[in-house]
Amino acid sequence: MPPTLDSYPARCGEIVDRCAEIDRRIAGLEAEKAALLGERVQLLLAEVPPGSAGFEQAERSMFAEIAAGLRVSRGTAARALGVGWSLNDRFPAARAALAAGRISARHAAVIVQAAAASLDIADLEAHARYEERVIPFAAAETAPRTEAFARSVAAAVAPETVTERHRRARGDRQVRVTDVDDGMAWLGILLPSVLAHAAHDRLTAMARRIRATGDAAQPGAEPREDRRRRRDLLPPLGTHPQEPTADPRSLDEVRADLAADLLLAADTDLIRENGLEGIRGAVQVTIAGSTVTGADDRPAELDGHGPIDADLARHLAGTTDVWDRLFLDARGMLTRTDTYSPTERMRRFLRARDRHCRFPGCRMPARPCDIDHNHDHAQGGPTDIDNLCCLCRGHHALKHPDQDDRWRWTATQHPGGVIEWTSPDGHTYTDTPPPRVQFA
């Protein structure tokens, strides 16, 4: 029998609670499995020391044994063994959190992997400082958000190593083509992450403009002049059965077409008549004032993605048109920012504070998000920093007044920008502004 209207929210809440409890039990089993896999690696290391004759063959056999026994690929087996051994050897806090169900196996994997790239394997003190910062964050956040934060914490624990490594890595810049099926191929460009994200941001902004206007050159489409001439003969929108519509391609398709056109022609014909020439790639980077002046080489942070090296950050700072000075407290939380226009100041403060959509787990960058009144403006909510946050369109719609009360969420902002979401079934979820890692 389907649930009645009164029982609907109660049963929804019971399902969520039950699933969360199952996840905690699964995490405990994953911790047990990781411990066993770590023990398997330790058995190998005790039997055949690394670098000795026969180690590679023994390691290869171990990978094959786990892959066959667990019915996974060799690569998956190797990663699971590496995470299991690392949790046993260097990450006691992560191992305990996994066993208690405070974090998931995915959280544990990103915690291990983010540290592996930056921390000396023998520096247990650095690992302890790293865990002290990362585990509480991971216990309250999704694995993808944890990954970005963990990269920055690892860089803060060993900033000189990360800076030097990023400088060396820039020498690996390259472009590759990989053929796939059906006459298609991947074009891959390896760039510093801040440049790659800026390029993707610009392509996205241009593609959205094109899809909205519907004025895009597509393969096989009539020439631009013919389309313009045809439009000039059409009556006003809404009165003609053949009126032009928005571009039918997906956002990914338009991004790909733009990238190809820009690379092949250097001056895409999609730019001149759509107002796209003014669109520039945008990223949000945080850099210490002492690093800007060259007094030190502490890493900067590409918000939401992790650290970038000081040289590239200084170059971006020297060429940007927009500066915001941020003031952080001892926890790394944003407390104030300097800007000029009051309205724009509020928007820029919120983007700097929130960094992404403030629904729990969402990673949509703050810049394209809506600025939302947590307490609806139509119901007397003030236009004040303490009542505003960044929400993506999808999560903004969850709390819209037009929503049926059975599906509508509410959001209440507490001091420090902490937002408490309440689901239709009465569950509450807290989202805290992500702290910024303060590099030593």
Residue scoring higher pLDDT (176 or 344): 176
Dist CA 304 CA 193 (whole Å): 12
Residue 354 confidence (pLDDT): 92
User: What is the secondary structure of 261-276 as a DSSP string?
Assistant: HHHHHSS-TTTTTTTG
Q: By the 8 A CB rule, do 202 and 281 touch?
A: yes
For strands 388-391 and 370-373, give the pairing: antiparallel
Residue scoring higher pLDDT (301 or 66): 66
Residue 215 confidence (pLDDT): 52
Residue scoring higher pLDDT (409 or 311): 409
Confidence of residue 383 (pLDDT cuts 50, 70, 90): confident
Residue scoring higher pLDDT (268 or 107): 107
**pLDDT above 90 as % of the chain:** 35
Residue scoring higher pLDDT (255 or 246): 255
Residue scoring higher pLDDT (348 or 390): 390
SS (H, E, C) 102-125: CCCHHHHHHHHHHHHCCCCCCCHH
> Over 80: is that where the pLDDT of 247 sits?
no
pLDDT tens-digit profile of 135-169?
A: 999 999 999 999 989 998 988 888 666 677 777 88
Q: What angle do CA 365, 366, 368 make, to 5 degrees?
A: 85
Confidence of residue 58 (pLDDT cuts 50, 70, 90): very high
Residue 314 confidence (pLDDT): 81
Region 416-420: mean pLDDT is: 93
> Over 90: is that where the pLDDT of 62 sits?
yes
Region 10-35: mean pLDDT is: 95
pLDDT tens-digit profile of 198-209?
A: 888 888 888 888
> Over 60: is that where the pLDDT of 232 sits?
no
Residue 255 confidence (pLDDT): 85
424-427 CB contacts, 8 Å cutoff, 24+ apart: 424/9, 424/12, 425/9, 425/10, 425/12, 425/13, 425/16, 426/9, 426/13, 427/13, 427/16
Q: Which of 39-43, 44-48, 318-322 has the least mean pLDDT?
A: 318-322
Residue 217 confidence (pLDDT): 47
Residue 302 confidence (pLDDT): 78
> Over 70: is that where the pLDDT of 246 sits?
no
Going by C-alpha positions, the residue among 311, 285, 318 that lies closest to residue 297 is 311
Find the helix or strand (DSSP H, E) in which 326 lies: strand 325-328
Task: Tell me 237's DSSP state.
Answer: T
Find the helix or strand (DSSP H, E) in which 338 lies: strand 334-338
Region 429-437: mean pLDDT is: 88
> Over 90: is that where the pLDDT of 33 sits?
yes
Region 385-392: mean pLDDT is: 89
Residue 344 confidence (pLDDT): 72
Residue 214 confidence (pLDDT): 67
> Over 70: is that where the pLDDT of 289 sits?
yes
Q: Burial-class residue 98 by CB neighbours within 10 Å (0-12, 13-18, 19+).
A: buried
Q: By the 8 A CB rule, do 143 and 110 touch?
A: yes
Q: Which of 27-31, 112-116, 287-291, 388-392 reaches the highest mean pLDDT?
A: 27-31
Residue 306 confidence (pLDDT): 76
> Over 80: is that where the pLDDT of 106 sits?
yes
Whole-number mean pLDDT of the chain? 81
Residue 129 confidence (pLDDT): 93
Region 314-335: mean pLDDT is: 68
Confidence of residue 342 (pLDDT cuts 50, 70, 90): very low
> Over 50: is that where the pLDDT of 375 sits?
yes
User: Phi and psi (nearest 5°) for 137?
Assistant: -65, -45
